[in-house]
Amino acid sequence: MYRHFRHVLFASIALCSLPLMAEQAAPAEDERNRLPIEELQTFADVFHQIRENYVEHIDDRELLMLAIEGMLNGLDPHSRFLQDDDLVDLEENTTGEFGGLGVEVGSERGLIKIIAPMDNTPAEKAGLQSGDLISYIDGKSVADMNVDDAIDMMRGEPGSHIELVVIREGEDGPLTFDIERDIIKVLSVRSRMIDKHIGYLRIAQFQQTTAEDVEASLKELQKDEPLQGLVIDLRNNPGGLLEAAVKTSDLFLNDGMVVYTEGRDGNNRAEYVATPGDQLNVAPIAVIINGGSASASEILAGALQDHRRAVIIGSASFGKGSVQSVVPLNDHQAIKLTTSRYFTPTGRSIQAHGIDPDIVVAAGQLREDKERRLKEADLRGHLENNDDSSNESEAKKLPNDAQLVEAYNLLKAMQLLKPAASDTSAL
């Protein structure tokens, strides 16, 4: 099964081959690289005690698998031992189609934390939000539950139901959600025109075809005339393929560093550089992020911010700045190991910090103006405006979304301040 899995590099998952440490070890290595014989003996003693005296019989192979899982889980939240089902899930996530609820999760305070619900999925439609803490799944407590076990419980046959009990900041008590499972087909990219000159691009996550989909969307948005501004919405984008994030960033840059990674010794550095060809011809960009924007989405936001190619709007991103390598052990098993950190073009590490927006805008709805004042158009017998062009609003009605409206207003202001082609006084 795993032998057919393609080797690709992720911002959250990287596929590569790593040589065994034992094969690289030289006889003259210092003390820190020698095997800890006494500790290995302790491990063997514990293994023997569990095998002989634990209240229930555990197969030796299962016990060894538990030891491997514990060793990797103890390193960081992203290192894991992968077996058949995990490898299938990994491939499904890169292609964008899998069964379940459509929610990216992690662990926090002994509970399962929702990093981001995916667009147009049962999780989003039910009202789950980034930052929610799942405390019960179908009546079973998730306290100290392994994230993978929680994911297995949430996945199931399309049409079947699952009950989640969620703790949400600001709520007086737990919230209960009854959600119907479905086949999750994640549409990576969606786009539309906000008005005649400003486009909107939503990237839900970074998959194998995301960069190509973004490029096709940009061509469609500009089929009549070039854009004068673009909003890129990365909110609740959990990340995905590093290569897709780099290629997408390259669409808006003419040159320079996109991102670089460094391993343990600091010398093992991989650099990703933009190629000539800005698809927007330097038209201004506003990127919206929030606490659910993680990993590959932080690479895109960080690259455009460092190159002063876009204004970042919203709230601080998630802060996942590490790269994992998936190392095949055999056809059915692999380990996902954190092997490096990635850095923005100016050398910023995003790990455990995130991308800080240039303009902070809290999520929420716009406040409606309850005091509507009387206007000329309300007076009986008022003269009509005979200028047809002034009767039509150039902008389509925006959703009641404070962050999106702020991004649009920013681009609109930049558009208005741009000198007209016939304005020779600006030359």
Q: Can you give the pLDDT at residue 219?
A: 97
Q: Taking 60 as the threshold, does the pLDDT of residue 370 lie above it? A: no
Q: Which residues of 178-198 are buried (b: 16+ CB within 10 A; e: fewer)?
A: ebebbebebebbebeebbebb
Q: Can you give the pLDDT at residue 372?
A: 55
DSSP letter for each residue of 113-176: EEEEEPTTSHHHHHT--TT-EEEEETTEE-TT--HHHHHHHH---TT-EEEEEEE-TT-SS-EE
Do residues 296 and 93 touch, judged by C-beta distance below 8 A? Answer: no
109's CB contacts (< 8 A; 6+ apart) are 133
Q: Can you give the pLDDT at residue 420?
A: 61
77's CB contacts (< 8 A; 6+ apart) are 106, 107, 147
d(CA 87, CA 85): 5
Which residues on neighbouring strands pair with residue 327, listed in sequence order? 335
Which of 188, 249, 320, 340 is labelled catalytic?
320
Q: Can you give the pLDDT at residue 298?
A: 98
User: Which residue in the block uniquely carries the two structure tokens 């486009």?
Assistant: 199
Task: Please state the rounded mean pLDDT for residues 172-196.
Answer: 92
| pLDDT, tens only, 115-151 | 888 878 999 999 999 899 999 999 999 997 888 889 8
Average pLDDT value over all residues in the chain? 85
Q: Which of 129, 78, 81 is nearest to 103 (CA)?
A: 129
Give yes or no: 295 in active site: yes
Residue 84 binned pLDDT confidence (cut-offs 50, 70, 90): confident
Q: Can you give the pLDDT at residue 9?
A: 46
Q: Ramachandran region of residue 248, left (φ > 0), alpha (ψ -120 to 50) or beta? A: alpha
Which of 12, 188, 293, 295 is labelled catalytic?
295
Q: Can you give the pLDDT at residue 368?
A: 54
Sketch out the chain's domains with CATH numbers.
Answer: 99-185 (2.30.42.10), 189-321+340-360 (3.90.226.10)
Which of 306, 315, 317, 322 is labelled catalytic?
306
Q: How far is CA 355 from CA 189, 314, 370, in A?
A: 22, 10, 36
d(CA 352, CA 316): 11
DSSP-derived 3-state class of residue 200: strand
| pLDDT, tens only, 230-267 | 999 999 998 988 999 999 999 999 999 999 999 987 66
Residue 30 binned pLDDT confidence (cut-offs 50, 70, 90): low
DSSP-derived 3-state class of residue 6: coil
Task: Please state the rounded mean pLDDT for residues 215-236.
Answer: 97
Q: Taking 60 as the threshold, does the pLDDT of residue 379 lie above it? A: yes
Q: Taking 90 as the threshold, does the pLDDT of residue 55 lie above it? A: yes
Q: Taking 60 as the threshold, does the pLDDT of residue 392 lie above it? A: no
d(CA 406, CA 255): 29
Give yes or no: 140 in active site: no
Q: Taking 70 as the threshold, does the pLDDT of residue 382 lie above it? A: no
| 372-376-380-383 Cα dihedral, nearest 10 degrees | -150
Q: Can you give the pLDDT at residue 381?
A: 72
What percent of the chain stands above pLDDT 90?
60
Give yes or no: 89 in active site: no
Do residues 203 and 188 touch, judged by C-beta distance below 8 A? Answer: yes
Task: Please state the rounded mean pLDDT for residues 328-335.
Answer: 92
Q: Taking 80 as the threshold, does the pLDDT of residue 374 lie above it? A: no
123-127, Cβ contacts within 8 angstroms, sequence gap of 24 or more: 123/179, 126/177, 126/178, 126/179, 127/177
Do residues 248 and 211 touch, judged by C-beta distance below 8 A? Answer: yes
Task: Report DSSP state, residue 32.
Answer: G
- Backbone dihedral angles phi then psi of residue 364, each to the nearest 5 degrees: 150, 180
Q: Where are the alpha helices (DSSP H) in 37-119?
A: 37-53, 60-73, 84-95
Task: Please state the rounded mean pLDDT for residues 337-361.
Answer: 95
Do residues 359 and 403 touch, judged by C-beta distance below 8 A? Answer: no
